[in-house]
Amino acid sequence: MRKFCLAMCVALGGAAVCYAQAAPVALNLQQAEALALKNHPQILAAQNNASAMNQKIAETRSAYYPTLQGDLTGSGGNIGARIGAGYLSDSRLFNRFGDGITLSQLISDFGRTPNLVAGSKLEANAAAQTAQATQYDVLVRVNQAYFGALRAQALVRLAQETVKTRQYLVDQVTALYNSQLRSEVDVSFADVNLSQAKLMLLQAQAQVQSANAELARSIGAQDVADYKLQEQDLPPSPPASPEDLVAQALKARPELASLQLSRDAAYKYESAAKDLSNPTASLVGVGGYMPYVDQITLPRVIPNEYAGAAVNVEIPILNGGLFKAQRQEAHFRALEADQRLRDEAESIARDVRTAWASASTAYQRLDVTAEMMREAALALQLSQGRYNLNLNNIVELTTAQLNSTSAEIENLNAKYDYQGAYATLQYTYGGLR
């Protein structure tokens, strides 16, 4: 057992060296949350997506405004011939060069553009709510990582105290053995107990490295530091029932608000798809100047200036069922959005109740583990006294030490488990901001 523990100490020695060499960085929970909100790539990506969705509003709203374009045209052809096929606008060919402008203005598409604009506004608001939800996701991970790192650091301190206590026992038993008051078996048991404590210390130091890496990831830091964290006060007890929290979550969770807005936008797009069958009326105006026209070969003189305007009404008749398919697609997308909203609401209610149950259990563990730690400490004190009076053996003493250490670890776990569980509960009902 002693050789095994020494081998494990060597295997984990690299983690201990890294832990000792890392420069500590002071950090409290509020600072960690502020860093995450400023630097985390998921938050920045969500904010950029919300900004992009705001541009969709301008894109769809642009149909309300006139479009103006400039034209430069030069042409040549066999004079007097007529165009029999193709897309050229002139029916008669002649040599000319000209420049001008074309103005187009939508008069009415009978509701399609207003529905598209309203839908894009709803989608932009949904993206803003998604960005808010992303912030809350990051914040709850920061809290969990922060309390996880606090737990790891506390375990290191506990392991260091355990090593110190068990080293004292080894020294005591060795002195008694040298005085021929204890057997070599007592020394071996004490040595193994000390080696286990050293192994626990190395494992705890390795856990600190993992916890620091997780904390750095949660705050959006590219480099991992050895954080010197500030302890947080225990939060209050959870409420007696989760139902009020469920009602609050259904009003406050940004994920639900985002899906509600997306659902409303889907119905606007369905209305816009229905408007595809309506006529579209637009005004078109042209004007310009042709500095060169081959007047010699033409039967009559063409003026150099030109201008004209027209109102065009497009009436859909047949297009192979395209508009019908688009209406049906938009309808089913709206129904899909309804079900996604319902599913999210049910998931949020479940998450709140589950988080409340976990937080309540974690809160109850606090008193249980505190009592267990007190009883284990008393048992260790009595066992140590009995051992000093030669009333028990080393096995009873080392067992009492193990029980005391386990009780302290459980008490630490209960403390940080409750802090993490309470942060998760706050997140589920929209209270973590």
* Cα first-last separation, the chain: 50
Same domain, 95 and 173: no
Same domain, 102 and 250: no
Same domain, 330 and 311: no
- Kindly calculate the radius of gyration of the chain based on its CA atoms and give it in whole angstroms: 38
Q: Is 228 among the domain residues?
A: yes
Same domain, 117 and 227: yes
User: Phi and psi of 311, rounded to 5°?
Assistant: -110, 125
Rounded Cα–Cα distance for residues 170 and 335 (Å):
73
Same domain, 145 and 285: no
Q: Where are the alpha helices (DSSP H) in 179-278?
A: 184-218, 243-252, 254-274
Which contacts of 33-38 are long-range, i.e. CB under 8 A and separated by 24 or more positions? 33/139, 33/142, 33/143, 35/219, 35/220, 35/221, 36/138, 36/139, 36/142, 36/218, 36/219, 36/220, 37/135, 37/138, 37/139, 38/220
In the listed set 315, 338, 362, which residue is the last one of a domain according to the structure?
315
Same domain, 142 and 266: yes
Q: Is 309 among the domain residues?
A: yes
23 exposure class (CB count in 10 Å sphere: 0-12, 13-18, 19+)? exposed
* Tokens 């969500």 belong to residue: 46
Q: Is 23 among the domain residues?
A: no
Which CATH number belongs to the domain containing residue 144 in this structure? Answer: 1.20.1600.10
pLDDT value for 432: 87
Same domain, 215 and 267: yes
Which CATH number belongs to the domain containing residue 103 in this structure? Answer: 2.20.200
pLDDT value for 94: 72
For the record, the structure tokens of 187 come out as 């020394």
In the chain, % helix, strand, coil (3-state, to 5) comes to: 65, 15, 20
Q: Is 17 among the domain residues?
A: no
pLDDT value for 33: 96
Helix and strand element counts for the chain (H, E): 10, 6
Same domain, 368 and 422: yes
The tens-digit pLDDT sequence of the chain (433 residues) is 444 444 544 454 544 444 445 468 899 999 999 999 999 999 999 999 999 999 999 999 999 999 999 988 887 777 666 666 655 566 566 778 889 999 999 999 999 999 999 999 999 999 999 999 999 999 999 999 999 999 999 999 999 999 999 999 999 999 999 998 889 999 999 999 999 999 999 999 999 999 999 999 999 998 999 999 999 999 999 999 999 999 999 999 999 999 999 999 999 999 999 999 999 999 999 999 988 887 766 666 778 898 999 999 999 999 999 999 999 999 999 999 999 999 999 999 999 999 999 999 999 999 999 999 999 999 999 999 999 888 989 999 999 999 999 999 999 999 999 999 999 999 999 998 8
How many Cα atoms are found within 13 Å in the side-chain-facing hemisphere of 272?
18
DSSP state of 108: E
pLDDT value for 96: 80
- 286 has which bridge partners? 102, 308
Same domain, 346 and 395: yes
Q: Is 60 among the domain residues?
A: yes
Q: Is 326 among the domain residues?
A: yes
**Cβ-proximal residues to 375 (8 Å cutoff; 6+ apart), any chain:** 407
pLDDT value for 146: 97
Q: Is 328 among the domain residues?
A: yes
Neighbours of 85 (CB within 10 A): 5
Same domain, 260 and 283: no
In the listed set 315, 340, 363, which residue is the last one of a domain according to the structure?
315
Q: Is 24 among the domain residues?
A: no
Same domain, 330 and 379: yes
pLDDT value for 14: 46
- 72 has which bridge partners? 99
Q: Into how many domains does the chain fold?
A: 2
Domain extent, residue 371, equals: 2-9+31-65+109-278+316-428
Report in angstroms the alpha-carbon separations of 376 from 154, 173, 223, 371, 389. Answer: 19, 22, 41, 9, 20
Total residue count of the chain as it appears in this document: 433
Same domain, 292 and 394: no
Buried b / exposed e over 34-70, threshold 16 CB at 10 Å, is: ebbbeebeebeebbeebeebbebbeebeeeeeeeeee
